[in-house]
Chain A
Amino acid sequence: MLSISGRAAMKAAIRTPSGAAWRWGAGRLTSALLSGRRPLASSGSSVSEVAPVDSAADKHPQPHTPPSTPPLQRPIYMDFQATTPVDPRVLDAMLPFYLHRFGNAHSRTHEYGWAAEKATDEAREHVARLVNASSAKEIIFTSGATESNNMAVKGVAHFYQSTKRHIITTTTEHKCVLDSCRNLEREGFQVTYLPVNSDGRLDVGRLREAIRDDTALVSVMMVNNEIGTIQPIEEIGRVCRERKVFFHCDAAQAVGKIPVDVEQMNIDLLSISGHKLYGPKGIGALYVRRRPRVRIEPLMSGGGQERGLRSGTLPTPLVVGLGAACAIALEEMERDYQHVSALSQQLYDGITSRIEHVQLNGSLTHGYPGCVNLSFAYVEGESLLMALKTIAVSSGSACTSASLEPSYVLRALGVDEALAHTSIRFGIGRFTTEREIGYAIEVAEQHVKRLRDMSPLWEMVQEGIDLKTIQWSQS
């Protein structure tokens, strides 16, 4: 466990007003927050689109492969915002629950059930402690942050709909929050989508002006999944509390990475995802404040588990995995943060010193360092992704479908369309090594240079022609 003083120091760090320090400055978590680090990352978008893994390489043992075939290699993993590998300590905690400890946590009549219930109670405590909830009863287990976000946004709106018909959120939220809001609009609710600044941050003054007498909920994420920007959550929480509006925070990318304190930040509902903090997929949690009480209408009806808010048998192994991941995150946060910031700085310095015309998308001063979103000017996005296929990264171009639309998050920042198409999100985590960072820098340098050498645009830039002055159209 992190010592009391360690936790206090981290809390003190968030409380300190942020100066304009460089995102990676010092390696320590505390000093990082002092200066307001930058975040970001992206999420659920298809990883395989970006860096197709040889499908054979994905399946495990291949004992019958003839020795003549060269060994398959897999890309290095730099997509920690999409998902994280399960920590071995987490798997170790989970395995007994897939073996002899298989009881139903809701069985009241025998030892199998009691043992499972005890394990889920302990897990609940670990989750509560990581976000400083005053009681484990405030933690509701869900299938992930998507469900938590749906439950919070729709649940609050529906419960208070007789008097409150207005929701406020931002344009850079995760799709599941935005889509929940769209659904509410169809039901007759009004939603205000606040714009963000060019670094992805919300202007709290704008929020203050947007709050109305019939505003039920403000929903703002803590760390953005595509660009890593950290929102001024404590200030937002203060405004919401003053105006007596509930505050929901999607902290899927923040929990376990930076200090999250629902008391100090005045958060009423907080979404957590297991597979973003080295826990298993298919499990998450929603923190729901009990004092002052927040009421939500459940999405699931049934046996009344989870205080009636989320019926269904608890998946004990997954719940235990999430609990273990949270306990480990609390203990490792400072060490992980130092590791991630050092590698982040190395990656950013390496790439920007070797390649010109690279733009950082997100915030230099208020970002999570584990998410480095860069745009490489004068290369073709698709070709760059192809070239980087030995590195599992994600791109800002929504090339998953036939659509060639750039990411809505980058567009919301006002990133130039061409630059948005060549953005690459490098995700760094607990298991990233220095060697991998060095490799990523080298591969990026080699391929960006190669692609630029083939580009007529690049040739013009080299000749000093201002591309903006060119009349492209034939007519």
Chain B
Amino acid sequence: MSARNMQVLKLYRDMLRASAGFQDSGVRAYALRRVRQGFREKRHLVDEQQIEAAVVRARQDLEMLRRQSTISQMYPAPPFVTDVPEAGGRRQRKAQGEVR
């Protein structure tokens, strides 16, 4: 795997991890969906300049995701009636397709 590929893969994982931290399940599902979609849409980029621009943008987005998911945890809301209790944690969220 090229250094570039490794860099992009790491960004992808970091962004998913940051997205999974959103407190509100709707926002969390959106962020995860949007990150996956964004990387999928840009998967076929070959032009080095375009790839670099996408990486720069992704780094900024990663910082935004980290800040905002952290803030969301500082002001927790009661769970939605549809939310699965914490006890299930990652395994249940995985079953619901939120986490891979």
Contact = CB atoms under 8 A, between A and B. Distances in A.
Contact of B67 (A74, A92, A436, A439): A92
A89 B82 CA distance: 25
Contacts, number: 65
Interface residues of B, number: 28
Contact of A335 (B34, B72, B75): B34
Contact of B24 (A71, A75, A92, A431): A431
B82 A76 contact: yes
Interface string B55-72: 000000000110111011
Given A88-B27, A89-B64, A431-B26, A390 B72 contact: no
Nearest to B78: A72
Contacts of A390: 81
A431 B25 CA distance: 9
A73 B31 CA distance: 22
Contacts of B72: 88
B79 A431 contact: no
A71 B75 CA distance: 16
B96 interface: yes
Q: Interface of chain B, helix or strand or loop or mixed?
A: helix
B64 A92 contact: yes
A433 B29 contact: yes
Nearest to B30: A431
B80 A74 contact: yes
Interface string A85-110: 10011011000000000000000000
B76 interface: yes
B82 A436 contact: yes
A61 interface: yes
Contacts of B79: 71, 73-74
Interface in B9-45: 22, 24-27, 29-31, 33-34, 37
A465 interface: no
A76 B80 contact: yes
A432 B96 CA distance: 15
B25 to A, nearest CB: 7
Given A61-B75, A88-B68, A92-B67, A439 B27 contact: no
The size class of the interface chain A forms with chain B is 20 to 34
Interface string A377-406: 000000000000010000000000000000
A287 interface: no
Given A74-B79, A88-B22, A435 B96 contact: yes
A74 B77 contact: yes
A430 interface: yes
Nearest to B29: A433
B3 to A, nearest CB: 28
A141 B79 CA distance: 36
Contacts of B80: 73-76, 436
A467 interface: no
B96 A92 contact: no
A246 interface: no
A60 B64 contact: no
A57 interface: yes
Nearest to A57: B78
B76 A60 contact: yes
A72 B30 CA distance: 24
A120 B82 CA distance: 39
Nearest to A440: B82
A83 to B, nearest CB: 14
B71 to A, nearest CB: 8
Nearest to A63: B76
A339 B37 CA distance: 12
Given A60-B77, A76-B80, A436-B80, 10 more contacts: A57-B77, A71-B78, A73-B79, A76-B82, A77-B26, A88-B22, A88-B64, A433-B29, A435-B82, A436-B82
Interface of B: 22, 24-27, 29-31, 33-34, 37, 64-65, 67-69, 71-72, 75-83, 96
22 contacts: A60-B75, A71-B78, A72-B78, A73-B78, A73-B79, A85-B24, A85-B27, A88-B27, A88-B31, A89-B64, A92-B64, A92-B67, A92-B68, A335-B34, A339-B33, A390-B81, A430-B30, A431-B26, A432-B26, A433-B82, A435-B82, A436-B82
Interface of A: 57, 60-61, 71-77, 85, 88-89, 91-92, 335, 339, 390, 430-433, 435-436, 439
